[in-house]
Structure 1
């Protein structure tokens, strides 16, 4: 992918991978340029979403971004807080996050997943005005949908290793089994 191709993906909207009644709807912050250019969520090399999903037990093998539709067969889906693509999440305004939270609430009310898993606690805090939220299950619900804030799988998130991230995602997976 050339730098020009990546730049041309700025502000594109990446379609969700969703269905009604999912076990978990994973919610990224917003698509990166690589994801928008390829049409596949978490497509940037170095993003740990796909390895973490497998290591945590959500998928029987590590899927590639171009296999994202397979998630539906496991009761999993992907959306974003903010739909438009950008090079970095810090290019998004607080108002975009808040509006994204409102739109996400409507989407969750319609799709009714068991869990909404926001991959990025800062994005969750801003989108839902939950300033003190921490990684893990949240008090807030959207209808019957429970919410879990997960660490952001971006390679830029050095606070979490692949192993510690897989452990936290695994806690969510176990919670989905106990609530099924």
Structure 2
């Protein structure tokens, strides 16, 4: 069987699924609105509705399992509320305690650094608060794990809630110059 693989720039406000029969989700936006995807397509990992950026899609379960494994790095740019201290960055690097499945969980060590300049990303469809509300900081956070809303929970744990979250890299695949909503067919991801 020939599998299909896609790279997309998931827009803010879309769910990482293709459709829903749920009445609560009737007014939600889905990936299926961006492209006519083949039967059996699945998102590799997820980005929540308020997150955006690189999302890989495939019809191959083995590829999905591999990319979701801790063997593959996922890099995020997070715009956070406040001026982040070196101490907070070090806490993020070494692991912070977050809630997951009703229990406390300490995140695994990861790569974190402050971006000196705001990244060159497309404007978000929904406005983010402006500088009148205090300073913000862009961080690069690279993980090998992916718990539910992990990056948001991590930045909140050090007192800097996430205002905008963009996944910019999965393994060697980068968002690069993709525009919001772009869909590109790929040969493979591994």
TM-score bracket for this pair, using the shorter chain length: under 0.3
The structure whose residues are more often helix, as a share, is: 1
TM-score (norm 1): 0.24
For normalisation by structure 2, the TM-score amounts to 0.24
